[in-house]
Structure 1
């Protein structure tokens, strides 16, 4: 039971990285913008966060720095795809490659540093409960913030006028523009906020999850987060569930190795990515289901007055 509790706790921790990034991408896609640059944003956020903590010695500033750098890169991406009408897919891929190269070059001098591991926060009273306390209530505060963010997005999209406007921009930007809403400004704001969340996820990896900097340390998590939005059919609660499932698959490999299960390590390492492919294949068997839930203007440029 103790091993199971530790596995659940580790899965929540690993899933938080995917959840925060995927919720950021969800915000982008709800207004009709596809951002394939999540991997690059997370890498730049990871480096910025790690460098900030090394230089300043304050962990919260590392998270802020990661968000700020990713937000600036997202602002550039948004300006290009929204105002210059560049291709969203090509621009996103370029951003991902640029972020990977920039972080590798700028991070060479930080590979020698390692941050002290943070003590997990303990929820008063609940942390002392048997099994449940170990599994759920001894986590970093961002683990709980990811759950709160998913719940907040559910409420905003389903219960508020702001959510209605955001969904209208993603479904039919021409109608939203005709009603007087600044479609391009709304999309740009959503892109910046979503990108900042990707940067936060990256900074969480380098300052909390594995407190060190290594080139390419995001290791495909940005792509998995991108797949999660489709897997979840653009619903925040399903994004959260999917993130924890993938987090569980990721951590299972280490627990199996620790238990002495004789499975090649290469196979265990590829399990999260294999699970991603399997899920996408299963979802693709029902294209009508995807089209029904997908924002209708996803990936399509908007030209005011056209």
Structure 2
């Protein structure tokens, strides 16, 4: 029984990892009162830049750094327009996604069909020798473990640190935070850049570790799922973390179902993660009291020091 469950568990952890990175980053951004719907575009840029650098250098660290910097550049474009110039955040986010997706397609045009050979991680090999959990850890790339550390860090930051309390105050009552002397827009800049960095890592993970290739449409809507996950989690890190694996499990379930010969059209099975996203969002949105209780009060609203 365990031997049959283990491959599903490992596959779920692998599939859910990019959602963990992207959703936790977006969670921090939204808790600061900024709604960045450009996660998909930032992930595309992160994926293509990481693939290009990996092909050129073979250095995973440099590839991830390039992905983070590229996605952060797009996040900077967003925050300048949305925070400094007070443009509509939804519109700017949508434009960012279109721009990032189009630019990624252009940059990766000559890399379509190419594949990367990833050497087995020595850290994973060592982790495989750990009693009880070694069978799982040994099959996971260290970037998966790093996503767990990111979750722990985000949770601690938001709920146990003074800096996290300030960030949440900026998202809930920016006027009061400003009156106390906190740089509201500066904090929103930092939070948005952090979200860009994690989206870049998510994209890099998909192109280098998860698929080891580049093709158009590689991100396949995961950025949108990450944004939806934050709502699904009602802006709480633990629910966001578990929700990422729920949607990762939905992705894996359709693959295992197809391999098992389930008599459903493959197109319908491939749409399963997106169907789950829609159903969950509809169910949560029906609970208006829950949404009002948890949504950051200033989410999507520009702030000016003069009121």
Aligned match of 2:304? 303
Q: How many residues align?
A: 305
The Cα shift of 1:136 comes to 4.3
Q: Equivalent residue for 1:169? A: 170
Q: Is the 2:12–2:252 Cα contact (8 Å) retained in structure 1?
A: yes
How far does the alpha carbon of each residue in 1:145-195 deviate from its partner, in whole angstroms, 9 at most, with x for none? 111111111111111110110000000000000011111111001101111
Does 1:251 find its partner at 2:252? Answer: yes
- Cα contact 2:127–2:138 (8 A) shared by 1: no
Q: Aligned pair in 2 of structure 1 residues 127, 279: CA closer, same or farther (>3 Å)?
A: farther
Cα separation, 1, equivalents of 2:293 and 2:125: 40
* Structure 2 alignment gaps of length 5 or more: none
How much does 1:3 deviate? 3.0
2-structure distance, mates of 1:58, 1:195? 21
Matched residue SS, 1:122: helix
Structure 1 runs (4+) deviating above 6 angstroms are none
Aligned 1:45-194 pairs, distance under 5 A: 45-119=46-120, 121-122=123-124, 124=126, 127=129, 129=131, 132-194=133-195
CA distance in structure 1 between the partners assigned to 2:156 and 2:217 by the alignment: 35
Name the structure 1 match of 2:216: 215
Give the deviation of 1:240 after TM superposition. 0.7
Structure 1 unaligned blocks of 5 or more = none
Counterpart CA distance in 2 for 1:272 and 1:143 is: 20
Find the aligned partners of 1:249 and 1:229 in 2 and give their Cα distance.
17
Q: Secondary structure at the match of 1:91?
A: helix
Question: Equivalents in 2 of 1:53, 1:227: separation in Å?
Answer: 30
Q: 1:221 to 1:187 in 2, by over 3 A?
A: same
Give the TM-score, by structure 2 length.
0.96
Q: Give the TM-score of the pair, scaled to structure 1.
A: 0.96
Q: Sort the Cα spacing of 1:211 and 1:224 in 2 relative to 1 into closer, same or farther, 3 A.
A: same
Three-state SS of the structure 1 residue aligned to 2:289 is: helix
SS in structure 1 opposite 2:238? helix
Distance in 2 (alpha carbons) for counterparts of 1:297 and 1:196: 23
Q: Partners in 2 of 1:125 and 1:117 — Cα distance?
A: 18
| CA–CA distance in structure 2, aligned partners of residues 55 and 122 of structure 1 | 24
Could you give the per-residue CA deviations for residues 231-275 of structure 1, whole angstroms, max 9, x where no partner exists?
001111111100001101101111122222222111110000000
TM-aligned CA deviation for residue 138 of structure 1: 2.5
Partner of 1:267: 268
How far residue 118 of structure 1 moved from its aligned partner, in angstroms, is 4.0
